[in-house]
Amino acid sequence: MTASDDTAALSRGRPVVFGEVLFDTFPDGAAVLGGAPFNVAWHLQGFGLDPLFISRIGDDEPGTRVLDTMRAWGMDIRGLQVDSERPTGKVQVSFDNGQPGFSILPDQAYDFIDLEAAAGAAARAVPALLYHGSLIARHAVSRDALLGLRRRGDVPVFVDINLRDPWWSREGVDELLSGTRWAKLNDNELNLLTGRQLAAAEIEHGADAFRRRVGMDLLIVTRGTEGAFVTTASGTTHGKPVVVEDVVDTVGAGDAFSAVMLYGLIRDWPLSRSLQRAMAFAAAICERRGATVADQGLYRDHKAQWN
């Protein structure tokens, strides 16, 4: 397949997002819908890319809330599986001197995604690409479903690394990155996966060495207030940080960034353009409460700026 054929295939198909959907539950009883892959799928829907989100929910009230929320946003629910034995995903949030801590509960419905159902839904979607994170691979059932789906589908893969103790290992992440075309992580995750504390002057070289060792085409490294960069065989592309005027919270900023980078890959934007637009959208999410926004105007405004 030539580069032009590859780009055309991306533009014709739909993004398939595989991973967890869950509720962050707080001490005051509040429950906020999220999960990194769900957040990415939400934004892709907002931008009009009609993603297929593949996950698994419980046959319970939170699961019904997931379905109702997706329907209200216009999302395709045919990739959602319902589990009669395990609950819809939950993360318990606690606070110690104002600092949040997260307890990701084991044996949730999203840990038991069925391969055959996932593969059937993906085949009907005509995938342009497959996006997934690393947390979804913590349990053998969903990990096997994910790897099986990757083997069956001849589509490029984007892996979003989110290292959450104790649910990861360096060997497990290496397996996920094998055969991946694109990946994203932050500078701290790069240090953990390389086993080195990279100095500022070393980080770009270390990122490219990691990219070459794994064998991927493109590696995105986010650096918080320092911006982000992309390393490829052609060199390094930098993105300048975007100032957030009024920070409400930073929850989901990385997922917003990933969604726009995916949009740019599908639309074949230059990397510098993708980086700046991704950081601008992430900054906009930081000015609002929560990781997802049910406001079509936000997405229309950004697309109008892009055009």
The Cα 132–Cα 183 span in angstroms is: 10
**Please, where are the H alpha helices in 91-233?**
115-125, 140-152, 170-177, 187-194, 203-214
Q: Do 118 and 152 form a contact (C-beta atoms < 8 A)?
A: no
Beta bridge partners of 242: none
DSSP letters, 83-105, are: ESSSPPEEEEEEEETTEEEEEE-
CA angle 131, 134, 138 (to 5 degrees): 130
pLDDT at 2: 43
The whole-model pTM stands at 0.94
- Please state which CATH class domain 36-88+114-306 belongs to: alpha beta
pLDDT at 1: 41
**DSSP annotation of 251:** T
The Cα 74–Cα 61 span in angstroms is: 20
Show me where the domains of the chain are located.
36-88+114-306
**Burial, 257: exposed, middle or buried (Cβ in 10 Å; 0-12, 13-18, 19+)?**
buried
pLDDT at 3: 47
pLDDT at 124: 93
The label of the residue with tokens 């230059």 reads 270
pLDDT at 11: 62
Residues of the chain where predicted confidence (pLDDT) is lower than 50? 1-5
Residue of 170, 107, 167, 175 whose CA lies nearest to 141 = 107
Q: Do 143 and 137 form a contact (C-beta atoms < 8 A)?
A: yes
pLDDT at 99: 61
pLDDT at 250: 81
The Cα 303–Cα 150 span in angstroms is: 31
